[in-house]
Structure 1
Amino acid sequence: MSDLLQIKRLLRRPQFLAAAKGVSEARGAVVIQRLERGDGSPHIGLGFTATKKVGGAVVRNRAKRRLREAARAMLAQHGVPGSDYVFIARMGTTERAWDRLLDDVKSTLTRLATPRHDRGAPKPSHARAPSGQDRQNP
């Protein structure tokens, strides 16, 4: 991608709620939600959040700062123009080693960039053995 990638921050609740309706992936210390806007604009929307489960205000702010830096490092190479991304901090975000956090973000962004039909689709329900017949009797 070019260095002219334009990133706009998501600031309003409806933007975050819209992104939640897209696809999401979780890896290690981060969950990333992606919504393809389809509005023709090539910019990337970017938002960050951390719930109170993560910790107090100091811990949540530290987690979001780390996610912002990880997004800055990885989004230019692995982000999809015309999409909104929401990075959600998990419990281990503040303690995660920096290189592992970057790896989590990179692998999650890469996974989200692949089209849905290319991902490992779940097996159809008819492929499973009927209840009670999945174990062999000795």
Structure 2
Amino acid sequence: MGQRKDFLAANHGLRVARPAFVLLARANGGLGKRYGITVTKRIGNAVVRNRVKRRFRELLWDALPEAGLPDHDHVLIARDGAVGRDFAKMGDELSAALQRAREGKGDPPRRKGSHRPRKGNRK
């Protein structure tokens, strides 16, 4: 997974939120188990973002072969809690999130306009 259209398509799939990340899962039409990681600048500077990406990558490499959904794209979107969260705890949360996704139990879709405003746009 590496093209923007794949990430946008995954956004229309199943969504499971956890304190450190949001897991998106969507069928990809027989392309196998693929993964993607999104860490925005809101999380921190480049050093922090790269550390979060490395941690997520390791978690996914460990979990997806057995617990991942077959022929699905899996996207982890970092949340503020990802930076200092215990690695083992995030692994447990990822396993639980993948289990919920396998059962088809996603979180309700976000309402439009319910996201937090950006730092520069606060009123």
Q: TM-score range by the shorter chain?
A: 0.7 to 0.9
Matching residue of 2:73: 84
Q: Note the C-alpha offset of 1:94.
A: 2.4
Structure 1 counterpart of 2:34, which letter? Answer: G
Deviation per CA, 1:85-116: give whole Å up to 9, x if none: 11111112121111101011111111111135
Structure 2 counterpart of 1:23, which letter? Answer: L
Higher relative contact order (CA 8 A, sep 6+): 2
Paired residues, what number?
108
Q: Which is higher, the Rg of structure 1 or of structure 2?
A: 1
Matching residue of 2:36: 47
CA distance in structure 2 between the aligned counterparts of 1:11 and 1:69, rounded to whole angstroms: 17
Structure 1 counterpart of 2:42, which letter? Answer: K
Matching residue of 1:98: 87
Which structure 2 residues correspond to residues 1-138 of structure 1 after superposition, within 5 A?
10-37=1-28, 39=29, 41=30, 43-116=32-105
CA distance in structure 1 between the aligned counterparts of 2:41 and 2:96, rounded to whole angstroms: 25
CA distance in structure 2 between the aligned counterparts of 1:66 and 1:120, rounded to whole angstroms: 24
Name stretches of at least 5 consecutive residues in structure 1 with no aligned partner: 1-9, 122-138
Percentage of matched positions with identical amino acids: 36
Structure (1/2) with the larger helix percentage: 2
Cα RMSD of the aligned pairs, angstroms, is 1.8
Structure 2 counterpart of 1:25, which letter? Answer: V
CA distance in structure 2 between the aligned counterparts of 1:31 and 1:120, rounded to whole angstroms: 10
Q: Note the C-alpha offset of 1:28.
A: 1.9
TM-score normalised to the size of structure 1?
A: 0.72
CA distance in structure 1 between the aligned counterparts of 2:43 and 2:107, rounded to whole angstroms: 30
Note if contact 2:7-2:36 (Cα within 8 Å) is conserved in structure 1.
yes
Deviation per CA, 1:27-55: give whole Å up to 9, x if none: 12111100112x2x261121011111111
